């Protein structure tokens, strides 16, 4: 199962959506209440897998290049090893914080 980012910075979609005439429809199809958060978009609760995401975009655009670009924005690469318990937290959209530190 591909790991999916649950939220993104709004500026990440600017190069993809730019002057797209379906921009508002795409945003409404993918994200919860797009005006609630000033800097981020949060995927809708029912978009839990990459297939869900692609299907939502596919209903509005048949441009394969655009669909692939959207997939790349939300895909967490396989080289990032995420334990299944943490993946479940991402899928359930639970708050999570990572602490990375070094000791001497």
| Local mean pLDDT, 10-residue blocks, the chain (104 residues) | 79 84 87 86 89 88 84 74 72 72 68
Contacts of 47 (CB under 8 A, 6+ apart): 4, 30, 53, 56
Question: What residue spans define the domains of the chain?
Answer: 3-91
pLDDT of residue 80: 58
The long-range contacts involving 32-41, CB below 8 angstroms and separated by at least 24 positions, are: 39/9, 39/10, 40/7, 40/8, 40/9, 40/10, 41/7, 41/8, 41/10, 41/13
pLDDT of residue 78: 59
pLDDT of residue 2: 60
User: How much is the pTM?
Assistant: 0.66
Under a CB-based contact definition with an 8 Å cutoff, are residues 67 and 54 in contact? yes
């Amino acid at each position: 199962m591909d790991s999916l980012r649950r939220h993104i910075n709004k500026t990440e979609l600017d190069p993809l959506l730019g002057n797209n005439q379906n921009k508002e429809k795409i945003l409404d199809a993918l994200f919860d209440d797009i005006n609630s958060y000033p800097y981020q978009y949060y995927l809708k609760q029912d978009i839990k897998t990459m297939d869900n995401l692609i299907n939502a975009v596919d209903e509005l655009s048949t441009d394969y290049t655009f669909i692939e670009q959207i997939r790349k924005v939300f895909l967490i690469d396989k080289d990032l090893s995420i334990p299944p318990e943490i993946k479940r937290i991402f899928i359930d959209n639970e708050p999570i914080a990572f602490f990375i530190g070094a000791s001497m």
